[in-house]
Amino acid sequence: METRVLKVDSIEKDYNNIIEAARVIKAGDVVAIPTETVYGLAGSIFNEEAIKKIFIAKGRPQDNPLIAHISSIEQVDEICSEFPEKAKELAKKFWPGPLTIILKRKSCVSDTVTAGLDTVAVRFPSHPVANAIIKEVGEPLVAPSANLSGKPSTTSAKHCVKDLNGRVPLIIDGGDCEFGLESTIIDATSDPMVILRLGAIPVEELLEVVPDLVYEEELTKTGENEIPKAPGMKYRHYAPNAPVTVVTGEPYKTAEWIANNSNKDDGIICFEEYASLFTEHNFVLNFGSYSNLQSNANRLFRLLREFDETDVKKIFVQCPMNKKIGKAIINRLQKAAGGNIIEIDN
């Protein structure tokens, strides 16, 4: 299959390409589209053939449900049987934006979408291109992250091409994603509500709106006995080709440890403050500043993917701060590392 890439720099100027994306989706095919978190592989929620194509293009296990993306709050009622007041409050505060809310589904949402669950995940993205495409199609779009299953999510059209060239008919290039990390997922069918996946909205911000929100520190861990609430979290994830080692502790100590325990052809992701320790190394990528978690989030998947263009045999990563969006970054890093974490005592 030929994969076309169409650019949307401005909604007004490039509206033809929005219309083309909507046309392909309405015809029952799938399109990679930009969102503010990561790129999504979108298809119509009511078209079983399209949904099957999404699973096939990604190589995604069938028991991993999809998120429905909407472009107005009213669309919740099209696919959900209940929209509890507390969930509405969350939506009012964080939508449009990188929050996914799990609600009871209506029967018009198929088992293929929800992997047989009686709930559906719903998100109202803030990205203008995602919004325009959903509006133009006129119904919610299901969209998992637009990467091959197991690989890091894609945060640019270039990376979508890398994973999906020849597997999907169309990729919409809307530039780099703002957050670089997937949405935070909250289960609003339980009381109190529970965070199922850490993500682009930090726990601290959610607690301000929902003080009794349940957040299990366990979500930041990965291990043999982990029982994931979001089915997708149990799979090997976010993994570049070379094995990843994450080093946690004070940044000057983790930098020093990596400098002493790596060889010059290993891949290094370090904070810019410590770049001077790695001048002898050949593959050093800048994680941004230790004090700027958003810059770390923004670069994470892109940097992991950059090493796939090299033949590094090992990748070492300095661990960011364990607060705010740093908790979600650490969660993704732990999965990328498959539990291969080194803790440096402070």
Q: Which residues are near ligand TXA by CB under 6 A?
A: 35, 37-38, 40, 64-67, 98, 100, 102, 114, 117, 119-121, 123, 143-145, 182-183, 185, 196-197, 230-233
Task: Pick the piece of the chain touching Mg ion (CB under 5 A) from 67-75, 128-136, 141-149, 288-296.
Answer: 141-149
What is the DSSP pairing of strand 267-270 with strand 67-69?
Answer: unpaired
- Indicate which of ligand TXA, Mg ion, none lies near residue 242 (CB less than 5 to 8 Å, by partner kind): none
Q: Is residue 145 within the footprint of Mg ion (CB under 5 A)? A: yes
**Minimum distance between the CB of residue 5 and ligand TXA, rounded to whole angstroms?**
18
Return the number of the residue (70 or 255) whose C-beta is nearest ligand TXA: 70
Please list the alpha-helical segments (H only) found in the chain.
Answer: 15-26, 48-58, 75-79, 85-94, 111-114, 128-137, 157-164, 203-209, 251-261, 293-306, 325-336
Residue 188 three-state SS: coil
Q: Say which DSSP state 249 is in.
A: S
Q: What is the DSSP string of 58-95?
A: HT--TTS--EEE-SSTTHHHHHBS---HHHHHHHHHH-
* Residues 162 and 305: beta-carbon distance below 8 Å: yes
Both tokens of 100, joined, read 């996914």
Give whichever of 146 and 259 is closer to ligand TXA, judged by the CB atom: 146
Binding partner selected for residue 67 from Mg ion, ligand TXA, none, CB under the kind-specific 5 to 8 Å limit: ligand TXA
Stretch of residues binding Mg ion (CB under 5 A), selected from 46-54, 138-146, 291-299, 323-331: 138-146
Q: How far is the CB of 27 from ligand TXA (least distance, A)?
A: 21
Is residue 122 within a helix (H) or strand (E), and if so which, with residue range? Answer: strand 119-123
State how far the alpha carbon of 199 is from the alpha carbons of 33, 108, 138, 179, in Å: 19, 28, 27, 9
Residue closer to ligand TXA (CB basis): 226 or 343:
226
Out of Mg ion, ligand TXA, none, what residue 336 binds, judged by CB under 5 to 8 A for its kind, is: none
By a kind-dependent CB cut-off of 5 to 8 A, residue 71 interacts, out of ligand TXA, Mg ion, none, with none
Token digits of residue 136: 């133009």
Which of ligand TXA, Mg ion, none binds 51 (CB below 5-8 Å, type-dependent)? none
CB of 69 to ligand TXA, least distance (A): 6
**Which residue of the chain is nearest ligand TXA when measured via CB?**
232
Compute the residue count for the chain: 346
Phi and psi at residue 246, to the nearest 5°? -100, 130
Pairing of strands 267-270, 244-248: unpaired
Q: How far apart are CA 82 and CA 108, in angstroms?
A: 14
Which two structure tokens, joined as six digits, stand for 4?
Answer: 């076309």
The one of Mg ion, ligand TXA, none whose footprint includes residue 96, by CB under 5 to 8 A per kind, is: none
With CB under 5 to 8 Å by kind, the binding choice for 231 among Mg ion, ligand TXA, none is ligand TXA
Find the shortest distance in angstroms from Cβ 333 to Mg ion: 15
Closer residue to ligand TXA, CB minimum distance, 185 or 255: 185
Q: Is the CB of 144 or the CB of 326 nearer to ligand TXA?
A: 144
The two three-digit tokens of residue 162, written as one number: 């890398």
Smallest distance, ligand TXA to C-beta of residue 41, A: 8
Q: Which residues bind Mg ion (CB under 5 A)?
A: 145
